[in-house]
Amino acid sequence: MIIGHSERRSLYAETDTIVAVKTAQAQESGLNAMICIGEKLEERENGTTNDVLKTQLSAFKDSVKDWSKVVIAYEPVWAIGTGKTATPEMAQETHAYIRSWLT
């Protein structure tokens, strides 16, 4: 089950609270959940990527009872359909932050 994809967040106003509820429902149903997190271009440019990710991660963490059934997908919203791409260094830096948050 994919939860929190950028298109659902933007087109259907899927908030961090809704992501948390859906995560809890997936867990209760025994489903694996891929939870998408990511920042917009202005957030990347303002240097607030980690703040955005922390807010998104913190919103659903209490809904997770079994982390083995969760995949966190970093989805830089600013790189979708814009022709801009995240460099490998940007992705590694962001993944390092997510791993540090998880520990």
List 28, 39, 75, 89, catalytic entry: 75
Q: How far apart are alpha carbons 70 and 5 in whole angstroms?
A: 14
Phi/psi of residue 32, nearest 5 degrees: -80, 145
Tell me if residue 95 is catalytic: no
Q: Could you tell me which residues are beta bridge partners of residue 3?
A: 35
Cβ atoms within 10 Å of 46's Cβ, excluding its own: 12
List 5, 14, 39, 43, catalytic entry: 5
Query: DSSP letter at 20?
Result: H
Tell me if residue 75 is catalytic: yes
Which residue numbers are catalytic? 5, 75
